[in-house]
A and B are shown apart, each in its own frame.
Chain A
Amino acid sequence: RGFAGAVVYVWLSVVLGLIVLPAMFGVSLGFTDLYVKALVKTLEWATLRIQRGQKEEDAVPAHLPNGIIEKDDGSMEEEIGELRRSHPKSLAGGDFTLCDAFYFCKKGIESIVEDQVTQRFTSEELASWNLLTRTNNNFHYISVRVTIIWGLGVFIRYCILLPLRVTLAVLGLSWLVIGTTLVGLLPHSNVKTWISDLIHVTCYRICARALSARIRYHNKENHPKKGGICVANHTSPIDIVILANDGCYAMVGQIHGGLMGVIQRSMVRSCPHVWFERSEMKDRHAVAKRLKDHVADKTKQPILIFPEGTCINNTSVMMFKKGSFDIGATIYPVAIKYDPQFGDAFWNSGKYNMVSYLLRMMTSWAIVCNVWYLPPMSLQDGEDAVHFANRVKSAIARQGGLVDLFWDGGLKREKVKESYKEEQQKMYSSMIVGQD
């Protein structure tokens, strides 16, 4: 029993001394960097072995295109125009031809094999295997050596990294709950705000260590300021940890029950976050008013919002809901791009619940990501909220190297509006009968 006690004692002191304490002071001992470098070397080696083993298949391109079929990028006019060019009779002005249906038929079959919306809700595929079983789609058993390394990897990830990470996560969250509750007892003052910020940031730093996250922040001069709204593309709940490592934000969201609720309630004791009851969420005006009030108070932290409303797989940005763009505050766009080589951060909420998801995160190699702070944007004269939202979305998509889609992420649950079909019909009819 003495031995077990000693092990726990050593374990905790290592964790506290080498990870938690430096995290609190924002000091990095460089372990994560070394770890990531070693990882990269190992994965490169594994890739080479796999490529040597792949004799029959053609060379896999370095960046797998996002999609499994080739799609013509032409517009409806171009495509149908091409179809008709080979038609024997030249038809001036555009009448109907029997081959027009081919265009719609092909587009229909293409969407059956692969469509833009469903695609964004499954994890991105990698060109080379990163020694995680879950990402192995294209690769067969290669050699004994790769298998051994893979086995070693499993051991390291599940038996060494996982317990360590879980310990850290528990420590970080307990720290948050206890710390904020204690701070909540203090009277309002600058000191209180300062301590509260410190507690929040420390918790997130510990959590970041719990995920072996290596985050690079770019353009820190554009960091969101008080009284503004920070918007970012959404890939997973971890986004919050990623962003909050570099500053304090006021979170927005629904009050949950259970552990999540406990955390939310204690957080709000030390500094103002915007939590809504489920019933309040439906009332758009009430929501807008609370956000407006928060933003108007210049002592409160900037609000953090994910306008897509749902988790996307980090290859594209989907439609932004216009609610936050209607408030009249300055928007600070932020682009987050995860490197899928080290671990897939996307939360497929249909496939995994929160606990399984966190387990997967904690048994990945690491979370490596880049965060770009973009220059602030505001509503321009004569611009409406929807247009503004799209402008911000494009800026984020461009910076993060993501595809800018007009589809609504909520579509993964809802039906398509009739207006989309009418759009298609309108476009086609202008080719048939002209602008009559």
Chain B
Amino acid sequence: MGSTSSTLAKIPNAEDLMQETGFTPAHLVRLYDRFKVLDKDKKGFLTPQDFVAIKELAMNPICDRIIGAFFTSGGETLDFPSFVRILAHFRPIDKNRPKEPTSPDPINSRSNKLKFAFQLYDQDKDGKISRHELLQVLRAMLEKQVTEEQLESIADRTIQEADLDRDDAISFEEFRKSLEKVNIDHKMSIRFLR
């Protein structure tokens, strides 16, 4: 009789993946099923086109950047472990996890969630959000709805507020500081219902 355990057996290195990402077996199976649904041509990996085929994603203003977060270093194929590792950023923060100073941060820590979001802005990965990069994001989110001058003034204002060391760019630390009161766990987490 079909069940979670038989699908789990189909996933390579399931144990390691669960350990690394913190997903439960049931969630991992659901993500695997979803991966297979998205992989319409049964290639065994996903391409950017498979993502664009998701209607709700295609209508998202920053759709390209989100897809870009999955296909780092310019690759065009995404296998299941990488798919899951990225999605692991959006697991709710485990409040009960003991704090071991020597162990690395879990993928879904507050800090890593912020890093993920930072990455959406910092496309050239130099560790800073330049004015130019900020403008690009703004343009993606607003496109024809505002004028170029308005975009520039918004970018200027934002940098002015967040940029503490006056280098005309927002570093990760400044990004983190500016958002310290935001409830990251709630806003950057996805909860499985079952």
Contact = CB atoms under 8 A, between A and B. Distances in A.
Contacts of B154: 95-96, 432-433
A101 B62 contact: yes
A38 interface: no
A136 to B, nearest CB: 4
Contacts of A116: 55-56
A192 to B, nearest CB: 49
Nearest to A131: B1
B82 interface: no
Nearest to B51: A112
Given A101-B141, A105-B117, A106-B188, A68 B59 contact: no
B54 A111 contact: yes
A85 to B, nearest CB: 9
A69 B190 contact: yes
Nearest to B40: A350
B3 A141 contact: yes
Contacts of B141: 100-101, 104, 425, 428-429
A133 B56 contact: no
A7 interface: no
B37 interface: yes
A428 B190 contact: no
A107 B187 contact: no
B112 interface: no
Interface in B24-61: 26, 30-31, 34, 37-38, 51, 54-61
Contacts of B169: none
Contacts of B2: 133, 136-137
Contacts, number: 183
A83 B55 contact: no
Contacts of B34: 113-114
Nearest to A125: B194
A426 interface: yes
B158 A105 contact: no
A416 B55 contact: yes
B104 to A, nearest CB: 22
A105 B182 contact: no
A141 B1 contact: yes
Contact of A424 (B31, B59, B116, B184): B59
B157 interface: yes
A65 B191 CA distance: 13
A139 B3 CA distance: 5
Interface stretch (B9-17, B94-102, B143-151): B143-151
A431 to B, nearest CB: 10
Contacts of B3: 136-141
Nearest to B141: A428
B150 A433 contact: yes
Contacts of A67: 193
Nearest to B143: A425
A115 B57 contact: yes
A70 interface: yes
Contact of A60 (B37, B162, B183, B194): B194
Contacts of B57: 108, 111-112, 115
A239 to B, nearest CB: 25
Interface in B159-194: 161-162, 170, 175, 178-184, 187-188, 190-194
Contact of A108 (B62, B161, B183): B62
A88 B144 CA distance: 30
B90 A109 contact: yes
B61 A88 contact: no
Contacts of A411: 55
A415 B54 CA distance: 9
Contacts of A109: 66, 87, 90, 190
B77 interface: no
A370 interface: no
A64 interface: yes
B4 A138 contact: yes
B80 interface: no
Contacts of A137: 2-4
A155 interface: no
A68 B1 contact: no
A101 B120 contact: yes
Given A87-B181, A115-B55, A117-B55, A103 B60 contact: no
A115 B34 CA distance: 10
A89 interface: yes
A118 B1 contact: no
Nearest to B181: A86
Interface in B73-116: 87, 90, 116
B137 interface: yes
Given A82-B187, A95-B157, A104-B60, 4 more contacts: A64-B194, A89-B161, A108-B62, A429-B141
A-B residue pairs, 9 tightest by C-beta: A429-B145, A111-B56, A420-B59, A108-B66, A70-B191, A86-B181, A416-B58, A140-B3, A136-B2
Interface of A: 57, 60, 64-65, 67-70, 82-83, 86-89, 95-118, 122, 133, 136-141, 147, 150, 407, 411, 415-416, 420-426, 428-429, 432-433, 436
11 contacts: A70-B193, A89-B161, A100-B141, A105-B66, A108-B62, A112-B87, A140-B4, A140-B5, A428-B141, A429-B142, A429-B146
